[in-house]
Amino acid sequence: EAGVTQSPTHLIKTRGQQVTLRCSPISGHTSVYWYQQALGLGLQFLLWYDEGEERNRGNFPPRFSGRQFPNYSSELNVNALELEDSALYLCASSLLQGAMALHFGNGTRLTVT
């Protein structure tokens, strides 16, 4: 079974630019979650999508957005990048029903200069 895949693995952007990160969930998983892991801040919940709809959102500004496609893959978009957006962005997937564990990808390392 293929795991959660994320692309790209690394990205360098300039402050003010826009970036799109991509995630493919495990086959059969309908829920996709995005987390930000910045140095010293642990994992911060960004967004949760299921069946193409946004189910929950963390405490992040609107310039963080995303979507889920009919094949359950997902994109995370960040506009007007700021230096503090530099972080590892992790995507996870799960089955919605029941208290299922989240399965994580290896992340996209974003550096904003």
Partner 1 sequence: AQSVAQPEDQVNVAEGNPLTVKCTYSVSGNPYLFWYVQYPNRGLQFLLKYITGDNLVKGSYGFEAEFNKSQTSFHLKKPSALVSDSALYFCAVRDVGRYGGSQGNLIFGKGTKLSVKP
Task: Tell me the residue type at 73.
Answer: S
| Residue from 13, 26, 38, 55 binding partner 1 (CB under 8 A) | 55
Judging by DSSP bridges, how do beta strands 43-50 and 53-57 pair with one another?
antiparallel
| Residue from 19, 21, 78, 107 binding partner 1 (CB under 8 A) | 107
Residue among 3 and 16 whose Cβ is closer to partner 1? 3
Report which of 41, 81, 83 is spatially closest to residue 63, judged by C-alpha positions.
81
In contact, 107 and 6? CB cutoff 8 Å: yes
| Phi, psi dihedrals of residue 78, rounded to the nearest 5° | -125, 120
Task: Tell me the residue type at 35.
Answer: Y
Q: What is d(CA 44, CA 38) in angstroms, rounded to the nearest whole number?
A: 8
| Residue from 16, 41, 51, 61 binding partner 1 (CB under 8 A) | 41
Q: How far is the CB of 88 from partner 1 (least distance, A)?
A: 8
101 binds partner 1 (CB under 8 A): yes
The number of angstroms, rounded, from the C-alpha of 92 to the middle of its chain's C-alpha atoms is 8
96 binds partner 1 (CB under 8 A): yes
Q: How far is the CB of 16 from partner 1 (least distance, A)?
A: 27
Binding site for partner 1 (CB under 8 A): 4, 31, 33, 35, 41-43, 45, 48, 50, 55-56, 58, 90, 92, 94, 96, 99, 101-107, 109
